[in-house]
């Protein structure tokens, strides 16, 4: 090995000021060299350590039984870091892999999601460089590659925590950050790189003198994903620039065993360690998994109802997120997808870790992310492309020892996925939706699209994007775009008419609705789909929460008509009405007008024009004219009578008031004689009394009113309208009606 022993330590701590590159050397080195020892020398290995330099092929069998980190032959610095971070006992994958990886063997590690794979390789990386006495001037000693930026960030945090006592410098190299130039200047000084494939390749291509020729350990987290076609070119280019003599660690919950993949990485006799291979399930034991049939056009209703039933929760995918946000379900909604700016992505990620919320997320958040172990529900609104994808998605909950729940919405045409999951040892319980608890949202969405026209475009994009995502899926056993009822789906998004889908034109001719479709062209198709992760804060009343779940999601067994056609059950009754409303038929039959008599009996529309004596309808023009003339005269007459009556009533009223006012004055004079200072209330009451009398004739309700202006206004109004009380008006109207009928 290249390492000179006892090399000077003068440059040991460098602090990079850029956000891009953080240095592990900023970790506090609390183990300063003791007095007397050479201050420039690298800290010596601990005396008690059973091994000094572990050679390839060394047998670690005596550590196989170790259950705690402090029983392992690792440096004190790592042990201290682990302890400070709260890691004491090892998980299964750590117990199985560390004894081998600490012998510098290549590892293919497979273990369920949330089982602690990260620590298994982080410890190995630190120990390898420590044993090699790696220093700042040695450059890049280890590279950890992650498929997503968020995951790289998370790995970097774990590395910082556990490696706190070491003197290595480490950098986070991920895309979407601006200060690439600073990063280029410093990257050669870093010992450990945590990066995404794209950014690493960019440095390999663009950074002058970027040197990985001394690389000791290469780690691929989510290895099967990085070896997947999506990263194939980038990874091949990266590997071609790395030395062949190195240790390679591959970890994933869904590990690749492809010989081709392994050949690409030039693995040497790798240890295949799959700790849960014999396990009955491929997913965490504490994870309760459910699936149910949800037809495409009811997905949003179901999702909306689910969120409303879990108001202590988090989601992703643009239109749904934007629309639901505007509809305010009663819980913060957040959105995370690959096209967001990196800073925003990290902000959302951090917020979701902290707060009770619903995160609408594409598959960008489906792998590796830990979210503080606090995700309670994972809702997969769209079927995952394969079983591996399913396992990673649900793996965002039930981390380490915590519990979690998941639900998968499957369209009737996607039921094959359920078989595939069961064949891969994924225990999914099939449940049914309680249609009574379903809260349709499509009507609200239609209204929203009318109010916010910009939302209409988003909805159209969602529609097209979704259909294309199904269209391009490889697994045709599960995904068949021809089986989708696209008109209903369009209506469920609140769209007034079904957008034209160019790539489907030939195939679905005649399937679209009668209305002329709008023409849409979506160039930038993004395959991201709508998996949903829900995070709920700790509930104060678990029972209540369980009850809500039971109410919305019913297990098959609990349903009386378990054997009945599930489609009928899932279809909410309100849906039918809503669809009818959305499709306005201009040729619909015209309704008939109904008239009611005083007793509430229905009369034919022209009953009021019936000849009073014969009861025959007056259809002749002359007869009608005659009838209207008569009616006018009767009304005039009645009007005259009303006016007379009213005049009389007002006269009476004025006289009455005069009398009362006079009477009141006399009383006041009497009262004034006895008035004491504290008797203002009595005075006020007296005034009110007068006011009440004053208004009595107008309205019985105006009791306490002593406002003269209001009185005058009211009087004016009444006189303008030849005022009579409502009761009197009604009486008159009745009288008139009777006279007409008699
Ligand atoms: N030995 C341990 N003791 C206590 N907690 C641990 C231990 N190892 C890991 N954890 C915790 O378990 C959680 C899951 O660990 P980690 O993220 O490494 O899982 P993973 O196997 O990589 O999952 P995924 O396959 O989803 O990436 C983390 O919160 C981590 O802090």
CATH number of the domain residue 336 falls in = 3.40.50.300
* H or E segment and range at residue 93: helix 92-101
Q: Are residues 76 and 166 in the same domain?
A: yes
As a dihedral over the C-alpha atoms of residue 422, residue 559, residue 534, residue 286, rounded to 10 degrees, the angle is: -50
User: How far apart are alpha carbons 491 and 463 in whole angstroms?
Assistant: 10
Domain boundary among 437, 465, 486: 437
| Strand order across the 170-173 sheet | 170-173, 192-195, 142-145, 217-221, 247-252, 107-110, 271-274
Quick one: 354 and 387 in the same domain?
A: yes
Atom index in ligand 1 nearest the CA of residue 372 equals: 29
701 domain-assigned = no
Residue 357 is predicted with a pLDDT of: 82
Residues 28 and 49 in one domain: yes
Tell whether ligand 1 has an atom less than 6 A from the beta carbon of residue 118.
Answer: yes
Total residues belonging to the chain: 742
| Placement of tokens 């280029």 in the chain | 184
Query: Is the CB of residue 113 below 6 angstroms from any atom belonging to ligand 1?
Result: yes
Instruction: Work out which ligand 1 atom sits closest to the CA atom of 89.
Output: 1
87 lines ligand 1 (CB under 6 A): yes
Query: Residue 404: what are its φ and ψ, rounded to 5°?
Result: -175, 165
Instruction: Take atom 20 of ligand 1 and give the residue whose Cα is closest.
Output: 114
397 lines ligand 1 (CB under 6 A): no
At 325, list the tokens: 């946000």
As a whole number of angstroms, the distance between CA 739 and CA 737 comes to 5
CA of 116 to the centre of ligand 1 (A): 3
Domain that holds residue 172: 10-274
Using an 8 Å Cβ cutoff, are 399 and 272 in contact? Answer: no
Residue 597: the pLDDT is 52
- Residue 484 within a domain: no
In-domain check, residue 261: yes
State in Å: Cα 396 to ligand 1 middle. 11
Q: Which of 114, 120, 250, 284 to mutate to test the pocket of ligand 1 (most atoms within 8 A of CB)?
A: 114
For ligand 1, say whether the CB of 115 is within 6 Å of any of its atoms.
yes
Write the CA distances from 132 to 6, 40, 55, 67, integer angstroms: 11, 17, 11, 26
Which pLDDT score, from 0 to 100, does residue 365 have? Answer: 78
Structurally, how many domains does the chain consist of? 2
State the DSSP H helix or E strand holding residue 459, giving kind and residue range, or none if neither: helix 453-471
Tell me how far the alpha carbon of residue 391 lies from the centroid of ligand 1, in angstroms: 16
Q: What is the distance between the alpha carbons of residues 78 and 82, in angstroms, rounded to a whole number? A: 6
Q: Are residues 44 and 138 in the same domain?
A: yes
Ligand 1 centroid, distance to 366 Cα (angstroms): 15
Whether 196 maps to a domain, the answer reads yes
Residue 301 placed within a domain:
yes
In a domain, 590, yes or no: no
For residue 362 and ligand 1, the question of a CB distance below 6 A is answered with no
**Residue nearest atom 18 of ligand 1, based on CA coordinates:** 116
Q: Among 399, 401, 403, 533, say which to mutate for ligand 1: greatest number of ligand atoms within 8 Å of CB.
A: 399
Would you state the pLDDT for residue 84? 94
CB 366 less than 6 A from any atom of ligand 1: no
Residues 292 and 263 in one domain: no
Give yes or no: residues 94 and 168 share one domain.
yes
Burial group, residue 716, by CB count within 10 angstroms (0-12, 13-18, 19+)? exposed
Residues 312, 184 share a domain: no
Tokens representing 10?
A: 């003068």
CA of 403 relative to ligand 1 center, distance in Å? 14
User: Of the residues 247, 274, 301, which one is the last residue of a structural domain?
Assistant: 274
Are 267 and 305 found together in one domain? no
Q: What is the largest CA-CA distance in the chain?
A: 129
Is the CB of 399 inside a 6 Å radius of any atom of ligand 1? yes
pLDDT attached to residue 728: 53
Q: pTM of the prediction?
A: 0.61
Residues 28 and 121 in one domain: yes
Q: Please name the residue whose Cα sits nearest to atom 10 of ligand 1.
A: 116
Ligand 1 pocket mutation pick from 368, 370, 404 by most atoms within 8 angstroms of CB: 370
- Of ligand 1's listed atoms, the one at least distance from the Cα of 120 is 18
pLDDT attached to residue 240: 92
Please check whether residue 61 lies inside any domain of the structure. yes
Do residues 350 and 234 both lie within one domain? no
Ligand 1 centroid, distance to 120 Cα (angstroms): 9
C-beta separation of 157 from 124 below 8 A = no
- What gap in Å lies between CA 720 and CA 268, rounded to an integer? 104
Which alpha helices (DSSP H) does 136-179 contain, by range?
149-162
Q: Cα separation of 451 and 454, whole Å?
A: 9
Sequence-distant (≥ 6) Cβ neighbours of residue 419 within 8 angstroms: none
Answer whether 572's CB lies under 8 Å from 438's CB: yes
Clarify whether residues 301 and 409 are in a common domain.
yes
Dihedral of alpha carbons 121, 122, 123, 127, sign: positive
Cα separation, 398 vs 377, in Å, equals 9
In the chain, which residues have pLDDT < 70?
A: 1-62, 177-178, 311-319, 373, 503-621, 623-624, 664-742
Residue 124 lies in a domain: yes
The beta strand positions in 441-481, using DSSP E, are: none
Q: Closest Cα to atom 5, ligand 1: which residue?
A: 87
523 vs 468: CA distance, rounded Å: 11
Do 182 and 299 lie in one domain? The reply is no
Last residue of a domain, one of 232, 251, 274: 274
């Amino acid at each position: 090995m290249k390492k000179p022993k006892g090399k000077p330590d003068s440059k040991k701590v460098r602090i990079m000021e850029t956000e891009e590159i953080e240095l592990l050397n900023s970790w506090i080195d609390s183990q300063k060299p003791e007095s007397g020892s050479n201050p420039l020398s690298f800290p010596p290995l601990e005396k008690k350590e059973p091994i000094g330099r572990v050679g390839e092929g060394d047998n670690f069998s005596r550590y196989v039984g170790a259950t705690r980190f402090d029983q392992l032959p690792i440096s004190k610095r790592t042990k201290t870091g682990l302890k400070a971070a709260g890691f004491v006992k090892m998980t299964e994958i750590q117990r199985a892999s560390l004894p081998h990886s600490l012998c510098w063997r290549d590892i293919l590690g497979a273990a369920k999601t949330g089982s602690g794979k990260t620590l298994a390789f982080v410890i190995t990386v630190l120990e390898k460089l420590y044993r090699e006495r790696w220093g700042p001037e040695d450059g890049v000693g280890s590279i950890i590659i992650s498929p997503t930026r968020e995951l790289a960030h998370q790995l970097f945090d774990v590395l910082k925590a556990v490696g706190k006592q070491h003197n290595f410098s480490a950098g986070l190299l991920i895309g979407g950050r601006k200060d690439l130039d600073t990063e280029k200047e410093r990257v050669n000084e870093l010992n450990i790189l945590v990066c995404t494939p794209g950014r690493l390749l960019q440095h390999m291509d663009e950074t002058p003198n970027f040197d990985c020729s001394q690389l000791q350990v290469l780690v691929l987290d989510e290895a099967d994903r990085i070896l997947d076609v999506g990263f194939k070119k980038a990874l091949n280019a990266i590997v071609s620039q790395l030395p062949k003599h190195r240790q390679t660690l591959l970890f994933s919950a869904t590990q690749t065993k492809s010989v081709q993949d392994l050949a690409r990485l030039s693995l040497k006799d790798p240890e295949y360690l799959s700790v849960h291979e014999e396990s009955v399930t491929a997913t965490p034991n504490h994870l309760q998994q459910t699936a149910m049939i949800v037809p495409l056009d009811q997905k949003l209703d179901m999702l909306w109802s689910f969120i409303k039933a879990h108001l202590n929760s988090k989601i992703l995918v643009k239109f749904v997120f934007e629309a639901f946000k505007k509809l305010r379900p009663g819980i913060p909604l957040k959105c995370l997808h690959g096209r967001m700016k990196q800073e925003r992505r990290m902000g959302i990620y951090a917020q979701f870790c902290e707060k009770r919320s619903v995160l609408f997320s594409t598959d960008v958040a489906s792998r590796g992310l830990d979210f503080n172990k606090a995700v309670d529900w994972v809702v997969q609104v769209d079927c995952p492309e394969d079983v591996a994808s399913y396992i990673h998605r649900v793996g965002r909950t039930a981390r380490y020892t915590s519990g979690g729940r998941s639900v998968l919405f499957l369209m009737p045409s996607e039921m094959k996925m359920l078989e595939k999951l069961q064949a891969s040892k994924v225990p999914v319980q099939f449940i049914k939706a309680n249609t009574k608890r379903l809260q349709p949202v499509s009507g609200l969405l239609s209204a929203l699209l009318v109010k916010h026209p910009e939302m209409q475009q988003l909805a159209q994009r969602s529609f097209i994007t979704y259909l294309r995502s199904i269209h391009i899926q490889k697994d045709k056993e599960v995904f068949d775009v021809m089986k989708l009822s696209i008109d209903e789906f369009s209506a469920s998004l609140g769209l007034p008419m079904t957008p034209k889908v160019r790539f489907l034109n030939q195939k679905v001719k005649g399937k679209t609705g009668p209305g002329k479709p709008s023409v849409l062209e979506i160039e930038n198709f993004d395959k991201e789909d709508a998996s949903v992760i829900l995070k709920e804060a700790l509930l104060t009343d678990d029972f209540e929460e369980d009850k809500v779940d039971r109410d919305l999601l019913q297990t098959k067994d609990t349903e009386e008509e378990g054997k009945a056609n599930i489609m009928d059950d899932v279809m909410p009754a309100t849906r039918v009405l809503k669809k009818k409303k959305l499709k306005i038929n201009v040729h619909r039959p015209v309704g008939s007008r109904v008239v009611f008599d005083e007793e509430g009996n229905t009369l034919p529309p022209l009953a009021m024009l019936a000849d009073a004596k014969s009861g025959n309808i007056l259809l002749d023009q002359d007869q009608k004219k005659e009838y209207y003339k008569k009616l006018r005269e009767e009304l005039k007459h009645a009007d005259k009578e009303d006016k007379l009556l009213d005049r009389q009533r007002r006269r009476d009223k004025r006289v009455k008031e005069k009398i009362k006012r006079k009477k009141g004055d006399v009383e006041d004079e009497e009262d004034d004689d006895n008035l004491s200072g504290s008797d203002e209330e009595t005075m006020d009451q007296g005034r009110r009394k007068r006011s009440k009398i004053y208004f009595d004739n107008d309205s019985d309700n105006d009791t306490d009113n002593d406002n003269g202006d209001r009185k005058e206004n009211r009087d004016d109004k009444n006189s303008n309208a030849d005022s009579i009380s409502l009761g009197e008006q009604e009486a008159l109207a009745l009288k008139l009606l009777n006279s007409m009928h008699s």
